[in-house]
Amino acid sequence: MTSFAKQLLDWFDQHGRKSLPWQTDKTPYRVWLSEIMLQQTQVATVIPYFKKFLDRFPSVDELSVATEDEVLHLWTGLGYYARARNLHISAKKVMAEHNGEFPATVDELMTLPGIGRSTAGAIVAICHDTHAAILDGNVKRVLARHFAIGGWPGKTQTQTLLWDKAESLTPNNRIAEYTQAIMDLGATVCTRSSPDCPACPYFKSCHARINGTIDQYPGKKPKKVMPVKSTVMLIVALNGNVLLKKRPSKGLWGGLWSFPECESVEAIDSLLQSLNLEELERTRLPEFRHTFTHYHLDIEPIRVTIRETNRIAEPGAEIWFNVTAPQSVGLTKPVTKILAELPAIRVR
């Protein structure tokens, strides 16, 4: 075992986290679920979602037979919804192609949607104590600072250097604990801002600390000007219900329910006509901006109260959503925000 691994494990024995929900009763299903939820999301945010998800889907077979709406509903608010869709698809593949048992190798796990090299490595290492390296955001930060590996980790050259280092440092015993330890160190000590260097087991050997260059590692992603797009969201209101449409499975907000949209206020009449609805009253609601990874979306919500109609929502594509007794479906974040404000606005 390298001195790097020994120092980390000694630190973990005293200071590591050992009682997180997915660390008790470790199974590939529970570890897989936690690893997917923890992608780009902090532990404190994940814990209540993890518990709620397990209460509803305690096993992979129960997840596999769920509807997409059930899965997305429990994911609402956690963001990056492609993770939930891939989770659902992977559960079906585990049942259909692996007899309900998760593969035990990195290569096999990577054939499941949403599982990359690092996530697969974490599942193998934590569940089977088998040699497999990981390289999530926390690990990248620890390694980049300790060994002064410059450059943005998204670049192939930098990523290759980090993977080589991660592979060479992963020990051949206590692998599960080492894997948890290096994630813990990045999450609790070697944090993105204000790292607690005196508490770090590598205080004396970290190149970035010694050289006073901690803020330079990992390298920053080159900045790009974020484009701005705009849309009008139509809150079609009738007797305490609002009309929601299901978005296509692929693409932006895939599989989630959202308000009908059009490009501009001038296009509202045409949209209502296509929906075969007659307007009684129109109200502009406060505009707001929703930011995605690659662009900003300026949203102008318009509430339209309509005349009583016998129009039936198209099954599977539309629902009349009850604002006071909401159905269990997955909603986009802007819809959740607007719905939270509707009681004060009064939907008639």
Mean confidence (pLDDT) of the chain = 93
Least confident of 23-37, 150-164, 210-224, 312-326: 312-326
Q: CA-CA distance, 272 to 281, in Å (whole number)? A: 12
Residues 52 and 221: beta-carbon distance below 8 Å: no
Pairing of strands 296-306, 279-284: antiparallel
pLDDT in the model for residue 2: 82
For 7-66, the pLDDT digits (tens) are 999 999 999 999 999 998 889 999 999 999 999 899 999 999 999 999 999 999 999 999
Which residues are within 8 A (CB) of 116 and not within 5 positions of it... i.e. 6 or more apart? 110
Q: Is 274 exposed, middle or buried (0-12, 13-18, 19+ CB in 10 A)?
A: exposed
Burial of 143-160, coded b for 16+ CB within 10 Å and e otherwise, reads: bbbbbebebebeeeebbe
- For the segment 222-248, the average pLDDT, to the nearest whole number, is 93
pLDDT at 341 exceeding the cut of 60? yes
Residues 190 and 145: beta-carbon distance below 8 Å: yes
For 278-307, the pLDDT digits (tens) are 999 999 999 999 999 889 999 999 999 999
Q: CA-CA distance, 74 to 56, in Å (whole number)? A: 9
Q: What is the dihedral of CA 137, 138, 143, 145, to 10 degrees?
A: 100
In angstroms and rounded to an integer, the radius of gyration of the C-alpha atoms of the chain is 24
Number of neighbours of residue 58 by Cβ within 10 angstroms: 12
Three-state SS at 302? strand
pLDDT in the model for residue 108: 96
pLDDT in the model for residue 343: 61
pLDDT in the model for residue 232: 97
pLDDT in the model for residue 133: 97
For 141-200, the pLDDT digits (tens) are 999 999 999 999 999 999 999 999 999 999 999 999 999 999 999 999 999 999 999 999
Q: CA-CA distance, 160 to 154, in Å (whole number)? A: 10
Number of neighbours of residue 233 by Cβ within 10 angstroms: 19
Predicted model pTM:
0.81
Q: Sketch out the chain's domains with CATH numbers.
A: 3-216 (1.10.340.30), 229-345 (3.90.79.10)
Q: Which of 246, 242, 231, 247 is nearest to 304 (CA)?
A: 242
Least confident of 92-96, 309-313, 328-332, 333-337: 309-313
Task: Please indicate whether residue 309 or residue 74 has the higher confidence score (pLDDT).
Answer: 74
Number of neighbours of residue 30 by Cβ within 10 angstroms: 21
Task: Indicate which residue of 35, 263, 278, 281 is catalytic.
Answer: 35
**DSSP E strands, the chain:** 228-238, 241-246, 257-258, 261-262, 279-284, 288-291, 296-306, 318-322
Clarify whether 35 is annotated catalytic: yes
pLDDT in the model for residue 346: 52
- For the segment 106-115, the average pLDDT, to the nearest whole number, is 96
Residues 231 and 300: beta-carbon distance below 8 Å: yes
Three-state SS at 246? strand
What's the chain's length in residues? Answer: 348
pLDDT at 344 exceeding the cut of 60? no
* Alpha helices by DSSP H, the chain: 3-15, 28-37, 43-56, 60-64, 68-75, 82-97, 106-109, 117-128, 137-147, 156-169, 175-188, 207-210, 268-274, 333-345
pLDDT in the model for residue 252: 85
